Every structure is written in structure tokens, then in C-alpha cells.
Amino acid sequence: MTAVPTIGVLALQGDVREHARALEAAGARTLDVRRPEELDQVDGLVLPGGESTTMWRLARSFDLLEPLRKRIEAGLPVYGSCAGMIMLADRIRDGVAGQETAGGIDMTVRRNAFGRQVDSFESDVVLTGMGDVPYHAVFIRAPWVESVGDAVEVLGRTAPVPEGGPNAGRIVAVRQGRLMATAFHPELTGDFRVHHYFADLVRRTTAEE
């Protein structure tokens, strides 16, 4: 078992430094990934938040999209937050014309589902496998998951507020095998449980290979 895995952060845009800091707090080495040869050097990868259409276009420009798809298919552990969740979705709604993803998680994600920047909010979410204390999650132009396939485990939902409403009970954290995603930004909090969970997943994967 590799005690200190190397986990890359896709460094095309988004909260790269914040994710790296959280991963290092979880006991991992980090590497900024901008080229296919850097992708080849990591045991796991984080796809940060940002703007999903920009991330897709930059991944194409840097010749990373196809290599990323191939490594996902080969079993690379990957965690995506916000825009990264969209990048891991097999299907997206409200995307721009021709928008592509790396895919890998059998889910349909709606882009900007919770609204625009001015609609950003914080909410407590109970996350399966990450303790009983609710996670105080930060949502910024966040997506939500509209549907999942049978192989996808739902790790967290927004609270079912008494009066209901369109944002209540939405799927905001999922896992399928070695892939996981959240609609929120755990790197913007001091609570690194999500990154610890992912780092442990990478360690277990490395030990199995």
C-alpha cells in the first residue's frame, strides 16, 4: 500500500492551490497537471471547480481530454468538484452546443442548476462514509445530479426543508467505483473530510494494483 500517493490537480483553471492544500493535509503529494505526461505520473486526479465549458475547451487545447478519458477507463481514481462533477458526468443538461465531458459516472448533471453567481449559498449536507457531523458545504453556480444509474452510490443530498422547494433533497455528492464528485467546493472550507475520503480511495486503489 502506498502511504503517500501522488494526486494531481487539473491545473487549467479553478481552485488549484486550495485543492492541493487540502490534499496535502490528507497526506498526499500533489502535482499540477497540464500535460498528458503529467497525467501519467499521478495515482489519482482532482478536477476542480471553475467553468465547465472553459475547462472542456482548455482540456481539448492541451490535448488532455482523450488521455483523461483513457485513464478513467483504465481505473484512475478521479474526484470532481462543481465543474469537475460536470466533467465526470456521462450526460449533461443545459450545456453549450457541442459541450463534451470526460465521463465515467453514470449520471445526468444539470449545469448551473442552483442558479447564477448571485444565487451562491451554504448548506449542511450529511455525507455517507464521512462521519455523522453534517458537512457545511459551499455552493457556487453549482450543478445538481438529476438522475443516476444503478452503479452510482448517492453520498449526499441537500436538506429536505419542511416547505420543500426546487432545491430540497437534490443529489450533490456521488461515487461510482473509483470516481466521485460533489456539486460543492470542499476546498474552500477548513473541513477536509472529502479530500481525506478521496486520498484513502487512491491509497486503496494503489494497493490493489
Annotated active-site residue in 187, 195, 208, 209: 187
How would you classify the pairing of strands 135-139 and 144-148? unpaired
CA–CA separation, 134 and 130 (whole Å): 9
The pLDDT of 13-30, averaged and rounded, is 94
For 128-156, write each residue's pLDDT tens digit.
999 999 999 999 889 999 999 999 999 99
Q: Is the dihedral of CA 113, 87, 12, 194 positive or negative?
A: positive
- Domain coordinates in residue numbering, the chain: 6-208
Q: Note the pTM of the prediction, 2 decimals.
A: 0.93
pLDDT > 80? residue 118: no
Annotated active-site residue in 18, 19, 82, 195: 82
For 31-90, write each residue's pLDDT tens digit.
999 999 999 999 999 999 888 999 999 999 999 999 999 999 999 999 999 999 999 999
For 150-203, write each residue's pLDDT tens digit.
999 999 998 776 555 667 789 999 999 999 999 999 999 889 999 999 999 999
Annotated active-site residue in 185, 195, 196, 209: 185
CA–CA separation, 9 and 85 (whole Å): 14
Residue 1: what pLDDT?
A: 46
Instruction: Let me know: does 186 contact 135? Beta carbons within 8 Å.
Output: yes
Q: Is the dihedral of CA 141, 155, 91, 19 positive or negative?
A: positive
Cell 483504465: give the residue. 74
In CATH, 6-208 is 3.40.50.880: yes
Q: Is the dihedral of CA 110, 179, 190, 123 positive or negative?
A: positive
Q: Based on the residue annotation, tell me whether 82 is a catalytic residue of this protein.
A: yes
Cell 470516481: give the residue. 179
The pLDDT of 13-23, averaged and rounded, is 93
How is residue 9 written as a grid cell?
A: 490537480
